[in-house]
Amino acid sequence: MKIGVLALQGAVREHIKAIEAVGAKAIAVKHKEELNSLDGLVLPGGESTTMRKLIDRYDMMPALRLFATSGKPMFGTCAGLILLANKLNDYDDPHIGVMNVEVKRNSFGRQVDSFEALLYLKGIGADFPAVFIRAPHIVNVGEGVDVLGEYDGRIVLARDGQFLGCSFHPELTEDTRIMEYFVHMVKESKRSILA
């Protein structure tokens, strides 16, 4: 089972470490052709505008959208959530635009307002150490979206079928439960694709 991490910008190394910590093979994805061999894909935290510019520069958007239609799971953290969302609160057009959520960028403040909180996450467990850095949050969810976590009345973790979106940075902690959850999604998807 191979899980890619989009390696254009952001917390790539930390995600690779988290994937390997739960026993899956991780691949840093720098070229669109590399998407073809993957069973799942992580879109890491970083800076969403910069990521979008690099995705366009390397002509990766059509391949990312094709990957999304394949049924294979995608997991977006922080900026990755912004890339997945089909509606952005302060931006005209979505990026990849495949997850049925509306997202507001930088909704918890600037870099200096970064903080940590312990969260209860549905299907994952209690006391998850969530690191929020210039974090977005999910303003609205569409039909079929499962809200998995909230902080201070704001949705910070949700699942829409094969798409998992997270406001915070699980890869910056030693707690691997969210990555385990995503790897389980990838295993289930691979099983159903092979069946």
Q: What is the set of active-site residues?
A: 78, 169, 171
Task: Tell which residue, 132, 134, 49, 57, has the closest CA to residue 83.
Answer: 49
C-alpha to C-alpha distance for 87 and 96, rounded to whole angstroms: 10
C-alpha to C-alpha distance for 163 and 72, rounded to whole angstroms: 9
One DSSP character per residue, 113-162 reads G-EEEEEEETTTEEEEEEEESS--EEEEE-TTPEEEEEETTEEEEEEETT
CA 8 to chain centre: 14
Integer CA distances (angstroms), 93 to 52, 90, 96, 153, 178, in order? 12, 9, 10, 26, 29
Mapping DSSP to helix (H, G, I), strand (E, B) and coil, where does residue 5 land?
strand
Judge contact between 32 and 61, C-beta under 8 A: no
